[in-house]
């Protein structure tokens, strides 16, 4: 099974029914699969904080949700994570393409890559880093953990994991 299919299957198995996305080249495949999945309502967002608002609403309406976005969005969403997702204690799996790591061709991506884990650590956000393809095996448990503790949880997925970008 491809990594993209495994991710979508884990979302479905964990009753994630709404996924919002802001695209990244590395995420193109999984976003296509999310869009095609009939068990998931796919709602593209124009900005990641908007997406987190939609996820907060879906959660309060009784549906599990998740966001798929690029790590640059961590710089955009600090206030939303602190004052909405964390303050109201809501679960939010964040599948994040970790640009600016080994294999990165675009120098500017490194500028946010060096801040990504530091910001997540500063926010006390549980953070997992998928580097090898096999790391995807942990996703199911990470999703269970997220909905158990009602916290935003970050899953950073780098270029090595995606076998290039």
Partner 1 sequence: MIRSDVLKALIPVISDHFTVCNIGLPSQEMHMMDDQPTNFYMLGTMGLSSSIGLGLALAQKQKVISIDGDGSVLTNFGTLPTIANNVADNFILLIIDNGSYGSTGDQPTYAGQKTSLAAVASACGCENVVECQAEDAVETMKAALASDKMTIIVCKCESGNIPVPVITMDPVVIRDRFMTEMAKRNA
Chain positions contacting partner 1, by CB under 8 A:
17-18, 41, 43-47, 49-63, 65, 79-80, 82-84, 87-90
Q: In the chain, which ranges are continuous DSSP H helix?
A: 3-13, 28-36, 48-60, 73-76, 78-80, 107-122, 139-149
Please, which residue, 87 or 144, has the CB nearer to partner 1? 87
Please, which residue, 80 or 109, has the CB nearer to partner 1? 80
Give least dist CB 16 to partner 1, A. Answer: 12
Please, which residue, 60 or 118, has the CB nearer to partner 1? 60
Please, which residue, 49 or 138, has the CB nearer to partner 1? 49
What is 121-141 written as a DSSP string?
A: HHTT--EEEE-SGGGGGGHHH
Give least dist CB 26 to partner 1, A. Answer: 22
Calpha distance 63→61 (Å, rounded): 6
Interior angle at CA 31, CA 30 and CA 32, nearest 5? 90
Please, which residue, 65 or 146, has the CB nearer to partner 1? 65
Give least dist CB 86 to partner 1, A. Answer: 9
Calpha distance 163→119 (Å, rounded): 26
Calpha distance 99→92 (Å, rounded): 21
Give least dist CB 76 to partner 1, A. Answer: 11
Give least dist CB 123 to partner 1, A. Answer: 14
């Amino acid at each position: 099974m491809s990594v993209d299919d495994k991710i979508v299957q884990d979302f479905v198995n964990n009753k994630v029914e709404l996924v919002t996305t802001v695209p990244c080249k590395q995420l193109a495949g999984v976003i296509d699969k999310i869009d095609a999945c009939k068990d998931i309502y796919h709602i593209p967002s124009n900005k990641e904080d908007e997406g987190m608002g939609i996820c907060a609403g879906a959660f309060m309406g009784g549906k599990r949700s998740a966001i798929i976005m690029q790590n640059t969005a961590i710089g955009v969403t600090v206030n939303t994570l602190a004052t909405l997702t964390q303050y109201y204690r809501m679960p939010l799996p964040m599948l994040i393409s970790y640009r600016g790591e080994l294999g990165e061709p675009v120098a500017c991506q490194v500028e946010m890559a060096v801040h990504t884990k530091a910001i997540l650590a500063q926010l006390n956000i549980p953070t997992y880093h998928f580097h090898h393809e096999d790391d995807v095996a942990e996703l199911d448990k990470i999703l269970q953990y997220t909905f158990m503790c009602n916290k935003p949880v970050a899953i950073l997925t780098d270029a090595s994991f995606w076998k290039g970008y």
